[in-house]
Amino acid sequence: MAAIFARQRIVTTAAATAVVGTALYVSRPAPLRLDSAFKEPSKTLTFPRTMLFSRELKVKQVEQVNHDTKRITFDLPGGESEISGVPASSAILTQHTAQGAWFPTLRPYTPISPPHQLGILTLLVKQYPNGRASTHMHSLQPGDSLTVRGPIPGYTYKPSPQQPRSVILIAGGAGITPIYSLAREILTADSRDQTAVQLLWGVNGPRDIVLRQELEALRAEFPERFSVTYAVSGKETDVAALGSAEMFKKGYVNRGLVEEAIARCGGAFGDEKGTKVFLCGPPAMEEAVAGKKGVLAELGLAKKEIHRF
């Protein structure tokens, strides 16, 4: 769905799926407040209204993260009285029409800013060679506007306050954004939750670890519930120089790495819905990990136990 920095899938399918899922996307009622003066923040995007009717976001800040990735922060129209309305692991659709084009280009992106962040929405955007959407996104400067739609619903996670559980999150390259968003939701949304998260992230080299600071912050805050393993495939990378041998592995996210993660799982393997592994990455990687002859199938996991973004 939204790997986002930008995944190169046909977005019309994602949009259609989102519309079909309207009946399944139910907002929680606002909690009862003793302070009558309190006012819940409004939402910039509300499914399905803003899937049909677009909104305009103005660029607040642009940060070059590495050679091909930018962090782009947008002001929300309602300022500090507004939140994006994009739930964890969900995506927005960016829209622009290139000069001379008849039809707009739509691409899904999962925000890296928290769902309840007031006033702003932040995207992490990787530029792809000849990528129409990502090239346009990288051309944006503070003050520019971007047309957006959504949100496209992601995975609705249910906390486990009564029973210890473990899940495995696997990302490849730019597919980290929905995975990171989900990991943060699992760890921070409910202080009673006893679900532990293992993240396996395949990257080419150290410069591609674009969310390392954010992941380190989660590890520091939840040392008993969150661990990260980086699979670094670049031939010229000396993984021993990057950090501990437990955290940095040479190669790809393969059967050995996944088997080790499963062996470390404590409590019940899988969340309340029975989902054990969450995956987002390039098509070739997803096929190698979760295809009919992939690693997870070899290890006995059923299709219904795997969620692919």
84 lies in the same domain as 139? yes
The tally of domains found in the chain comes to 2
The answer to the question of whether 109 is labelled as a binding residue is: yes
Q: Residue 26: inside a domain, yes or no?
A: yes
The answer to the question of whether 108 is labelled as a binding residue is: yes
CATH number at residue 220: 3.40.50.80
**Per-residue tokens: 27:** 């907002």
How confident is the model at residue 19, as a pLDDT? Answer: 40
138 lies in the same domain as 247? no
Q: Residue 159: inside a domain, yes or no?
A: no
> Collapsing DSSP states into helix, strand and coil, what is residue 61?
strand
15 lies in the same domain as 86? yes
122 lies in the same domain as 190? no
How confident is the model at residue 39, as a pLDDT? Answer: 81
201 lies in the same domain as 279? yes
State the DSSP H helix or E strand holding residue 216, giving kind and residue range, or none if neither: helix 212-221
Q: Residue 182: inside a domain, yes or no?
A: yes
99 exposure class (CB count in 10 Å sphere: 0-12, 13-18, 19+): exposed
How confident is the model at residue 21, as a pLDDT? Answer: 44
The answer to the question of whether 124 is labelled as a binding residue is: yes
230 lies in the same domain as 182? yes
Q: Residue 160: inside a domain, yes or no?
A: no
Q: Residue 4: inside a domain, yes or no?
A: no
266 lies in the same domain as 243? yes
- pLDDT per position as a tens digit, 98-155: 988 999 999 999 999 999 999 999 999 999 999 999 999 999 999 999 999 999 999 9
Q: Residue 298: inside a domain, yes or no?
A: yes
pLDDT at 30 over 60: no
pLDDT at 13 over 80: no
181 lies in the same domain as 225? yes
The answer to the question of whether 177 is labelled as a binding residue is: yes
> Collapsing DSSP states into helix, strand and coil, what is residue 22?
helix
Q: What percent of the chain has pLDDT over 90?
A: 83
How confident is the model at residue 29, as a pLDDT? Answer: 46
Q: Residue 157: inside a domain, yes or no?
A: no
The answer to the question of whether 126 is labelled as a binding residue is: yes
pLDDT at 20 over 60: no
Domain boundaries, position 291? 165-308
| Residues 6 or more apart whose Cβ sits within 8 Å of residue 213 | none
Which of 98, 119, 152 is the last residue in one of the domains?
A: 152
The answer to the question of whether 233 is labelled as a binding residue is: no
Higher confidence at residue 238 or residue 306? 306
pLDDT at 5 over 50: no
Q: Residue 62: inside a domain, yes or no?
A: yes
How confident is the model at residue 38, as a pLDDT? Answer: 64
Which of 131, 152, 173 is the last residue in one of the domains?
A: 152
Closest of 195, 218, 215, 200 to residue 261, by C-alpha: 200
172 lies in the same domain as 304? yes
Residue with the two structure tokens 């509300």: 46
- pLDDT per position as a tens digit, 240-261: 899 999 999 999 999 999 999 9
26 lies in the same domain as 137? yes
221 lies in the same domain as 95? no
Q: Give Dmax over CA atoms of the chain in angstroms.
A: 61
CATH number at residue 24: 2.40.30.10
**Per-residue tokens: 87:** 């739930």
Q: How far apart are CA 194 and CA 201, in angstroms?
A: 23
pLDDT at 10 over 50: no
Which of 92, 123, 152 is the last residue in one of the domains?
A: 152
143 lies in the same domain as 169? no
Q: What is the mean pLDDT of residues 18-43?
A: 55
How confident is the model at residue 2, as a pLDDT? Answer: 43
